[in-house]
Structure 1
């Protein structure tokens, strides 16, 4: 039996999920990579987009297309559901931005001319364009500072900086040659399209046969793809999406449980609560009590 891919709901090596849909995280590449002796094993993130800003050093990027070399200064664009791993040269430095792929889609949908390139893995070599590289690095530093400082208007500034960064990034990718890293693995492509359909539909009542029909495969085939890649059934993948969003609402908003069920398009708040408890292990109210202070209603 095939071993499933390492699939992280949060950051590599972490055992807790990212709080979606507004997850933003910036860290030094060396902070995590040094802990793993500069080797990051191939894995995927179901709902997270990553941008690696390589300032110094070099390495190998493991992909479905094979092993690809990169050297500083460069950017590595890793969309959600994209297999990737790293073997960095010792003492490589840089920053990695991780954010909700839902935010990326929000930016792209508001700017239709950018609606290409953002779903692909890219190596963007910038040895001859160091000025633009420095500009993007400054935005990342500003984002990191803003994320750390709890100042008034923090979310507005972060959203503005991210929108500017992603707009510039996707404009560059659309207008310049980058290393061709288009995924050719059929199963992973099917899984990516399945994830995109879940986000687009936002319908927890939609059955797996409907998702499978969209890709002209059977429900059995779709379940097999999900089990082989992430060790879950297709329905578990669907529930993961909605319950991850639910955790975000419970953590960051004052919405009642019924209001959250409505936001996630569950027709029955009681069914939503039962489903949440089955998969999370706590009722929505108990999860909120154990997480952050919030209304118990």
Structure 2
């Protein structure tokens, strides 16, 4: 089976049409890495026999589509069919992913959608058409694929291909849903949940209040709770507690911080309060949890 890390396959990324592309070909890298290795400016190029998906979570970039340049609003997804010339300029640190996949993988994604769904063969920049909850799934899939990629495990070529197929399928299905009559109403509601989850991930604070987050979003706490219940069947407070618990587990599993230090990092008023919170949400004390994974 072909090694996707060979010099031949790497040369394809610059548009070398002399190389035959494996149906299993999948490549992904972070936009931070893409920015760094290209000194902030990816020159105009195209890809033969490959489809590119660029996912921009945040940052500031300009995208040139065959001579037409525009500033990109985030979050967004850029779909670039084979043979289309494009370039990108990074104006500041940008987060997201750049994924290349074989045309066979693209066709596999399209087969999963209704026959009436039409897919343009032109470069597409999509932002508002991607529902926030779908964008979260897209990022999660990209992170998993990137983790598999850096492991350089030849035995997981099929798994990597399946990740790329599923990622594109989520994007295309989101575009299909955007064509439905009630999309704008659902998009507005889901955008509140997306903003809320993004805020509590970026600033994990055990002393944080749902009312304060709701105010930053521009809605009432009651409205935020209703959205959370409708979309994920949990209250806003439960979602916040799940996030704090997850962050606590990460510290206990991957750092040498003491329970007291973790309590301070997560802004609990004291270690005892943190221990009670953690046991209530996991059934184990922080100390027992840490010992059980060592």
Tell me the TM-score normalised to structure 2 length. Answer: 0.49
Flag the structure with higher helix content: 2
Bigger RCO (CA 8 Å, 6+ sep): 1
Q: Pick the structure with greater CA Rg.
A: 2
Tell me the TM-score normalised to structure 1 length. Answer: 0.49
